[in-house]
Amino acid sequence: MVSTIAAVAPVPVRKPNPLDDDPFTLKSITKSDPPVGVDSENWHRYVITQGHNTIVGQLQGSRANTERAVQEIVERLNERRRGKTGRVQLSPGRKKKGATPPPSDD
């Protein structure tokens, strides 16, 4: 019986990101009264937590719609916190001196 040992390439160890330790999470969604001055119904109060931070808000709609909306808020907060939103905000660059404008289609 011949035994062989295959060489395995080392797996690079990724350093843990401290931002992964305590992400924003949806803590609760409960039925609530409408905000003061609002006559519509079907409101929900939500609580989002992250460490010692707490975000409390209200949304109108079914519980399922509210939960979907709040989960999206949580995802965006965590993306923003990590700095990887995947969104690009373009700003117009400076015009070069002496550059001629493109011809118009008149």
Q: Which structural domain range is residue 55 located in?
A: 20-82
20-63: per-residue pLDDT in tens? 678 999 999 999 999 999 999 999 999 999 999 999 999 999 99
Count of domains in the chain?
Answer: 1
In a domain, 9, yes or no: no
pLDDT at residue 83 is higher than 60: yes
In a domain, 35, yes or no: yes
Residue-wise over 10-42: b if at least 16 C-beta within 10 A, else e? eeeeeeeeeeeeeebeeeebeeeeeeeeeeeee
pLDDT at residue 85 is higher than 60: no
pLDDT at residue 96 is higher than 60: yes
Backbone angles phi, psi at 89, to 5 degrees: -110, 110
pTM beyond 0.85 = no
Say what the alpha-carbon torsion angle 9, 11, 12, 13 is, to the nearest 10 degrees.
Answer: -150
Please answer whether residues 44 and 57 qualify as being in contact, where contact means their C-beta atoms are separated by less than 8 angstroms: no
In a domain, 67, yes or no: yes
Percent of the chain with pLDDT over 70: 64
In a domain, 76, yes or no: yes
Percent of the chain with pLDDT over 90: 54
